């Protein structure tokens, strides 16, 4: 998850006692050196509504399977359930989870989140058709998928239907929250979970997001960003078309959409471990007296849009209103934002980076304009249902990067049987434990060598490995009794 509706998972760890488990991993196939372990699509039938006893409609859910490392006697090694989040799922990433799978002799499976990519129950994304898009439905999808794939393994190895492999769940960002929530709601279906940058706390006015951007930027860069925002606000009042055109965003008729686009451009640099991409040109321009707005516009167009692949249209409310858009992820994630979790990244009252026009009213107006009346994020009920940062579960590892603005919606303090680790380094952001540095663009096997403190990443990975090793050993059994 990038900021809402955008963008939208680690190298050395402890040697695990695989031989003692009989889980000697297979040699990595040649294609494992690429970005994906596999892109071969598989399908299962999934219920549209898990909560209705009379609605028997189904849709095809896409998933991926990578069994090449699966070991153990008769395929009894662990299964790593890697969750896809709020975007099209195009394969199983070859990030640090691949390293863990090799070490543990684990199969890796990844189902696509309902509605996203090729797993939509409906062709039209009209608001009425989005009523089955929720984290609750998605969790039951995962439970059904888990049982489906376990049955597939049992048939493949000619085992009884009651045999259960040890499972472990992984996710980053929103899917990190799903990973934690899956362990909370279905503890009998997984030995544990990793919630990497897991945003388990629904937040209505998420002012801490902007505050963290300022802290991660540091005083000099923060001041340059704030001055740029002030200058853009002034130019919008004088000639809005010209300043938007400077950023290649003249199609954004709504000033709030444009200002949110600019705010995201800065935030994502820190979120994904590229602070110098935005700070170096701005601080240099400020020192030399060059035009800050033009300098920032160059960064936005060259890096945020061209290099990182951000589309201006994903910030356009008129585009988000389309029920059959080319980019479905933006409309879908905004619906989840507007109906369940909010995460409204509003400007703090004082000392903000983003424009004060990016406020609560902007977000509420967007929800109403894009989805109609009655779509509202009841964060109180979401947090009541899952527990927020007071989640009452066990055997969940929470990890966060020190520079990531999203960490303030995650569980940052350890509690009994739920350790939490902050990976501290200058470019440790969203999902650093699995993605390495930077977190964008993609880094093969989550290599940490480009982190400002590789040792900080390696240390936390050792802790993660230790927890996985312990929790898998505690729940291994030949069969289930239900």
Q: Is position 45 annotated as part of the catalytic site?
A: no
Q: Is position 52 annotated as part of the catalytic site?
A: no
Say how many C-beta atoms besides its own lie within 10 A of residue 302's C-beta. Answer: 13
Is residue 95 within 8 A of residue 10, CB to CB? The reply is yes
- Selected catalytic residue, list 120, 173, 175, 402: 173
Buried b (16+ CB within 10 A) or exposed e, 186-209: beebbbbbbbbbbbbbbbebbbbb
Rounded to the nearest 10 degrees, the angle between the axes of helix 255-271 and helix 360-371 is 110
Is residue 164 within 8 A of residue 146, CB to CB? The reply is no
Is residue 71 within 8 A of residue 24, CB to CB? The reply is yes
- Selected catalytic residue, list 70, 113, 408, 430: 430
Is residue 1 within 8 A of residue 80, CB to CB? The reply is no
- The residue among 268, 208, 140, 186 whose CA lies nearest residue 389 is 208
Is residue 375 within 8 A of residue 338, CB to CB? The reply is yes
- Selected catalytic residue, list 68, 210, 404, 433: 404
Q: Which residue has the tokens 């009841």?
A: 378
Q: Is position 173 annotated as part of the catalytic site?
A: yes
Length of the chain: 482
Cis peptide before 325 (omega within 30 of 0): no
**Which residues are part of the catalytic machinery?**
173, 404, 430
């Amino acid at each position: 998850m990038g900021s809402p509706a955008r963008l939208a998972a680690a190298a050395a760890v402890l040697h695990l006692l695989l031989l003692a488990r009989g889980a000697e991993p297979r040699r990595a196939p040649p294609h494992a050196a690429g970005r994906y372990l596999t892109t071969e699509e598989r399908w299962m039938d999934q219920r549209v509504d898990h909560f209705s006893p009379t609605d028997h409609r189904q849709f095809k859910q896409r998933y991926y399977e990578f069994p090449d490392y699966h070991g153990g006697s008769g395929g009894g090694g662990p299964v790593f359930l890697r969750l896809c989040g709020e975007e099209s799922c195009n394969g199983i990433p070859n990030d640090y989870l691949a390293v863990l799978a090799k070490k543990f002799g684990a199969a890796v499976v990844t189902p696509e989140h309902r509605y996203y990519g090729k797993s939509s129950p409906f062709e039209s994304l009209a608001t009425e058709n989005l009523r089955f898009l929720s984290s609750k439905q998605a969790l039951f999808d995962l439970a059904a998928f888990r049982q489906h794939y376990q049955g597939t393994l049992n048939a493949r190895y000619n085992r009884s239907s009651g045999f259960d492999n040890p499972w472990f769940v992984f996710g980053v960002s929103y899917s990190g929250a799903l990973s934690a929530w899956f362990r909370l709601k279905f503890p009998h279906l997984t030995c544990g979970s990793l919630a990497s940058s897991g945003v388990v706390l629904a937040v209505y006015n998420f002012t801490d997001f902007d505050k963290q951007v300022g802290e991660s930027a540091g005083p000099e860069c923060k001041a340059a960003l704030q001055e740029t925002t002030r200058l853009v606000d002034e130019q919008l009042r004088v000639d809005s078309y010209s300043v938007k055109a400077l950023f290649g965003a003249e199609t954004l008729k709504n000033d709030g959409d444009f200002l949110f686009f600019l705010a995201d451009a800065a935030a994502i640099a820190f979120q994904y471990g590229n602070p110098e991409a935005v700070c170096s040109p701005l601080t240099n321009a400020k020192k030399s007296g060059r035009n800050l707005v033009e300098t920032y516009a160059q960064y936005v167009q060259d890096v945020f849009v061209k290099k990182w692949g951000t589309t201006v249209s994903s910030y356009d409310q008129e585009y988000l209103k389309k029920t059959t858009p080319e980019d479905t992820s933006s409309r879908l994630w905004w619906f989840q934002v507007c109906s369940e979790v909010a995460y409204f990244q509003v400007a703090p009252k004082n000392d903000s980076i983003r424009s004060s026009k990016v406020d609560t009213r902007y977000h509420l107006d967007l929800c109403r304009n894009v989805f109609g009346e009655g779509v509202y994020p009841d964060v109180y009920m979401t947090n009541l249902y899952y527990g927020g940062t007071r989640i009452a579960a066990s055997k969940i590892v929470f990890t966060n990067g020190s520079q990531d603005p999203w960490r303030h919606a995650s569980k940052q303090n350890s509690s009994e049987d739920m350790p939490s680790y902050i990976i501290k380094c200058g470019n440790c952001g969203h999902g650093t434990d699995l993605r390495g540095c930077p977190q964008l663009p993609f880094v093969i096997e989550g290599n940490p060598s480009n982190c400002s403190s590789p040792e900080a990443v390696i240390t936390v990975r050792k802790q993660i490995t230790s927890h996985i090793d312990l929790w898998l050993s505690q729940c291994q059994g030949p069969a289930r009794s239900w």
